[in-house]
Amino acid sequence: MKYYYPLLNAEMPGREDVKELTPNPASKELLERLEQEGVETVFDRFEAQQPQCSFGLRGLCCRNCQWGPCRIGPKSPRGICGKDLNLIVMGNIVRALAAGLAAHGRHAHEVYMTIIAAAEGKANLSLKGEERVWQLAEKFGISTEGKELAAVAKEVAEYLLEDLGRMTQEPMHMLEAFAPGERKKVWQELGVLPRSGSYEVMETLHMTTLGGCSDWTALAEQELRMALAYCYSTLYGSSLATEILFGIPKPKLTEVNYGVLKKDYVNILVHGHSPVMVEKILEKINSPEIQQLAKKQGAKGIVVGGMCCTGDELLARYGIPTVTNIMGQELAIGTGAVDAVVVDMQCVIPGMKIVADCFGTEIITTCNSNRIPGAVHIPFDPEKPETLDQDALRVAQIAVEAFKKRDRSKMNIPEERTRAMGGWSYEAIVDTFGGLDTIVQLLKDGTIKGIVTVVGCNNPKVPYEHNHVTIVKKLIEGGILVTTTGCCSHALLNAGLCAPEAAEMAGEGLKEVCQKLGIPPVLAVGGCVDNTRSLRLFIDLAEKAGRAVKDMPFMFVGPEPGNEKTVGQGVSFLAHGVSNLVGFPAPIPVPLPKPKKGARSNDEMERGSNDIADFFAGDGLYTKVGARVYTEPYPTLAAQTIRMHIRRKRLNLGWK
Ligand code: BF8
């Protein structure tokens, strides 16, 4: 690989490495094409940034006040205020989690407010997930006697909003309703039960401001507290609330990948995270009025393709084909066939608009938090939902009218189309297997060796999508069932691992089960907020097995962590006792081995050490929650580490 960082004991790819290793031929084709056209992408900008700052890479730079920036090294082991390595590194990690919580919190807020708008009849939306409304009402202890669905849904949404904004020390409704009893006790003893998403973000920024908390272990506790707020007030809440609005997904077969775009059709990509306005836009796109408009423009029809988590949501509910993830967004526009990209919130990179301008692609923004200069802006505001229908119609019109402007000389759609199955909600998984008891039995008798959720972003520090696909192939070969979300799921969907035929690649046991049920060994469960579907599965399976989650053969894997949001994902699972494997060491300094005093050979090494690495990877966190973080950038070694972890858990359980 082109770049080697001895400080991290890791290598990073250059463009040529990416072209050689990326598993999707369409990505390689588009990369080469954009290179020929002289269009810059994330892959070029990554190279232009080399070498990256070694302080920043290890989390050793503090920019929290105007005295700094301060960098920690042998010459200056403390920042100007006196902060040491531990405080700076942990402060950076905890602030990243706060930013991630804020992002998912804003997403959750939009969904909760939309339920209220729908329930009050202000937004023209029906509540399709009736079953979820009654279930949550029961879990929250809301009386339903004599009440209409809408009234109960509104109360449920208000409970969820409380979890997002509570300022006083009362239990969180979602945590009380869904967390395992064993964990509540652990968290109570550790003193890490949170108040709400908003409160914990405020407290974290407060603790890490100049002259704030000087005890890194207290920041580490806040990390756990905030992860619980993140998990229950934003992720879990918004996943269930989206089901209230648009229904609980069921498995469905479709085709994905860049080849779903069609040259004579209007091609519209939907991108971002919030599934609210896009549902209405989809309704308008399917209306006779917009279909006729497309014909009038000379198109044979309209293709809608999904990117990032909005794409995952639509795949799950309607089988809308997904195209790509965060690092493929520029490549998708590079097909020259995309007429418009409709974006809502998060993971929409500024570089996308630059490529869009090269290809004449219309960008339409629909969230006031995610503005892009030069884009058409038609926002959705759940507190002013009256214009939702007319706004969605306008978005659909503009997207379709962009077809006329397409420069056909620049068009080059890769052929790749891949069969895939999406829609794996919690209920869909449990029902398909025939209940939790059956899954527990399959785990106990070793037919399925373990369940691993492989998720998260892309990161240019590893070869694009290579690690996702390599790791997962080796896991299913080893009889491990995989669930996936987010950008990772796009890599796995496009690689054909989410199609029932992929059962052929699975090891003995898992292969037969998947073939019998007609399902893939890799289950695409949705967008990143839907990681809570996998978490819920882990919690409920452990309960059925009569064990704690920490003892079960489960793991959380993020081969390409990128967005700040992923910090909270990993720590949420850790707090529940599920160990993590991450694909890149930063921003925790790696404890590199060093020669022993007087050593005469390279074999005589001492284990390097630092408190934060020990906390996450050693016994610090493990003694508190029964889980730790493994870091491995090389995918074959990563898969071996995961399989070893699963094997160790099985041995401890006495399962063969
Ligand atoms: O929430 S995986 S890059 S798209 S943050 Fe973003 Fe990461 Fe992709 Fe969805 Ni999740």
Orientation angle between helical segments 85-119 and 149-165, nearest 10 degrees: 160
Between the alpha carbon of residue 637 and those of residues 470, 582, 587, 634, the distances in Å are 10, 12, 20, 6
The pTM for the full model equals 0.96
- Residue 187 clears pLDDT 70, i.e. is over it: yes
Domains contained in the chain, number: 4
Length of the chain: 656
* Domain presence at residue 415: no
Which 3 state secondary structure label does DSSP give 484?
A: strand
344 neighbors 272 (Cβ within 8 angstroms): yes
- CA-nearest of 290, 267, 270 to 279 is 270
Are 436 and 551 within one domain?
Answer: yes
Q: What integer pLDDT is reported at residue 596 of this predicted model?
A: 79
CATH number of the domain within which 238 lies: 1.20.1270.30
- Give the model's pLDDT for residue 600: 76
Pick the atom of ligand 1 nearest to 312's CA: 9
With contact defined as beta carbons under 8 Å apart, do 305 and 322 qualify?
A: yes
Contacts of 18 (CB under 8 A, 6+ apart): 31, 43, 463, 464
Q: Give residue 651's pLDDT.
A: 97
Neighbour tally for 32: CB within 10 Å: 12
pLDDT tens for residues 196-214?
999 999 999 999 999 999 9
Distance 346 CA to ligand 1 centre (A): 8
Residues forming beta bridges with residue 554, ordered by sequence position? 451
Pocket test for ligand 1, best of 566, 572, 584 (most atoms within 8 A of CB): 566
Same structural domain for residues 361 and 484? no
Alpha carbons within 13 angstroms on the beta-carbon side of residue 410 total: 23
Domain identity same for 623 and 511: yes
pLDDT in tens, 317-348: 999 999 999 999 999 999 999 999 999 999 99
Q: Is residue 79 part of a domain?
A: no
Mean pLDDT, residues 378-386: 96
Report how far ligand 1's centroid is from the alpha carbon of 505 (Å): 27
Tokens of 593: 């081995």
pLDDT in tens, 411-431: 999 999 999 999 999 999 999
458 Cα to the center of ligand 1, angstroms: 8
Please report the atom of ligand 1 found closest to the CA of residue 458. Answer: 3
Ligand 1 centroid from CA 486, angstroms: 5
For residue 98, which amino acid is it?
A
Residue 596 DSSP label: P
Q: Is the dihedral of CA 234, 530, 556, 547 positive or negative?
A: positive
Give residue for tokens 């909760």.
112
Task: Round to whole Å and give the CA distance between 530 and 191.
Answer: 27
Distance CA 367, CA 109 (A): 13
Residues 193 and 337 occupy one common structural domain? no
Residues with C-beta less than 6 Å from any ligand 1 atom: 273, 308-309, 325-326, 347, 456-457, 486-487, 527-528, 562-563, 565-566
* pLDDT tens-digit series, residues 510-561: 999 999 999 999 999 999 999 999 999 999 999 999 999 999 999 999 999 9
**In terms of domains, do 458 and 339 share one?**
no
Tell how far CA 315 is from the center of its chain: 15
Out of 269, 326, 343, mutate this one to test ligand 1's pocket (max ligand atoms within 8 Å of CB): namely 326
CATH of the domain at 545: 3.40.50.2030
Q: What is the mean pLDDT of the chain?
A: 96
- Whether 119 and 29 map to the same domain: the answer is no
Q: Which two tokens stand for residue 561?
A: 């962590």
* Strand ranges (E), 34-80: 61-62, 70-71
The protein residue whose alpha carbon is closest to atom 5 in ligand 1 is: 563
Instruction: Write down which residue in 354, 385, 410 finishes a domain.
Output: 410
Distance 561 CA to ligand 1 centre (A): 9
- Ligand 1 atom nearest residue 346's Cα: 6
Of 410, 437, 454, which marks where a domain is finished?
Answer: 410
Q: pLDDT tens, 490-514?
A: 999 999 999 999 999 999 999 999 9
Atom in ligand 1 nearest the alpha carbon of residue 325: 8
Q: Does the pLDDT of residue 602 top 80, yes or no?
A: no
Angle between helices 466-477 and 635-653 (to 10 degrees): 40
Residue nearest to atom 4 of ligand 1 (CA): 308
Domain boundary residue, one of 410, 433, 450: 410
The closest of 198, 192, 177 to 228, measured between CA atoms, is 192
> Does any domain span residue 66?
no
Instruction: Kindly state whether residues 375 and 460 are assigned to the same domain.
Output: no
Q: State the distance from the centre of ligand 1 to the C-alpha of 464, rounded, in angstroms.
A: 14
8 Å CB contact between 350 and 567: no
**pLDDT single digits (tens) 433-487:** 999 999 999 999 999 999 999 999 999 999 999 999 999 999 999 999 999 999 9
d(CA 276, CA 114): 8
Atom number, ligand 1, closest to the C-alpha of residue 566: 5
pLDDT of residue 595: 75
Place of tokens 């590194």: 89
Question: How far from the centroid of its chain's Cα atoms is residue 6's Cα?
Answer: 29
Cα–Cα distance measured from residue 133 to residue 175, given in angstroms and rounded to the nearest whole number: 17
Instruction: Name residue, tokens 């006779």.
Output: 288
Verify that 112 and 233 share a domain, yes or no.
yes
553 secondary structure, DSSP code: S
Distance 543 CA to ligand 1 centre (A): 30
- 78 in any annotated domain: no
Q: Which amino acid is at 523?
A: L
User: Which residue owns the Cα nearest ligand 1 atom 7?
Assistant: 457
Task: Assess whether 14 and 140 both reside in one domain.
Answer: no
Distance from C-alpha of 389 to C-alpha of 430, rounded to nearest angstrom? 36
Candidate of 269, 313, 325 to mutate for ligand 1, largest count of ligand atoms within 8 Å of Cβ: 325
Mean pLDDT, rounded, for 105-117: 98
Q: What atom of ligand 1 comes closest to residue 565's alpha carbon?
A: 5
**Closest ligand 1 atom to Cα of 486:** 2
Same domain, 216 and 260: no
In a domain, 623, yes or no: yes
Q: What is the pLDDT confidence band of residue 607, given thresholds at 50, 70 and 90?
A: low
Q: Ligand 1: which of 234, 563, 569 to mutate, most ligand atoms within 8 Å of CB?
A: 563
Number of helices (H), then strands (E), in the chain: 28, 20
Coil/strand/helix, residue 72: coil
Statement to judge: residues 389 and 472 lie in one domain:
no
For residue 9, CA distances in Å to 236, 256, 463, 517 come to 36, 36, 16, 43
Distance CA 67, CA 328 (A): 39
Going by alpha carbons, the residue nearest to atom 6 of ligand 1 is 347
Which ligand 1 atom minimizes the distance to the CA of 309? 9
**Stretch 20-44: mean pLDDT:** 97
- 597 falls within a domain: no
pLDDT tens readout for residues 68-107: 999 998 899 999 999 999 999 999 999 999 999 999 999 9
- Distance between Cα 506 and ligand 1 center (Å): 27
* 17 contacts 28 by C-beta, under 8 angstroms: no
Which band of pLDDT confidence, cut at 50, 70 and 90, is reported for residue 135?
very high
- In the reported structure, the alpha carbon of residue 471 is separated from the centroid of ligand 1 by a whole-number distance in angstroms of 19
Q: Which is nearest to 177 in space by CA: 161, 160, 202?
A: 160
* C-alpha 190 – ligand 1 centre gap (Å): 30
**Confidence (pLDDT) at 524:** 98
Q: Encoding tokens for residue 369?
A: 């938090």
123 is a domain residue: yes
Q: Which residues pair with 283 in a beta bridge?
A: none
Q: Rounded to the nearest whole angstrom, what is the distance from the C-alpha of residue 140 to the centroid of ligand 1? A: 30
418 DSSP β-pair partners: 256
Structural domain harbouring 11: 3-57
Cα 105 to ligand 1 centre (Å)? 14
CA-nearest residue, atom 1 of ligand 1:
528
| 133 shares a domain with 109 | yes
Ligand 1 centroid, distance to 370 Cα (angstroms): 15
527 found inside a domain: yes
Q: Could you tell which of 274, 346, 557 is best to mutate to test the pocket of ligand 1, judged by most ligand atoms within 8 Å of the CB?
A: 346
- Collect contacts of 348-357 with beta carbons under 8 A, ≥24 apart: 348/271, 348/272, 348/372, 349/42, 351/40, 351/41, 351/42, 351/45, 354/40, 355/34, 355/39, 355/41, 355/330
CA distance 378 to 361: 17
**pLDDT score of 585 more than 80:** no
Of ligand 1's listed atoms, the one at least distance from the Cα of 308 is 4
Question: Which of 443, 449, 457, 491 minimizes the C-alpha distance to 471?
Answer: 491
- Between CA 333 and CA 349 the distance in angstroms is 13
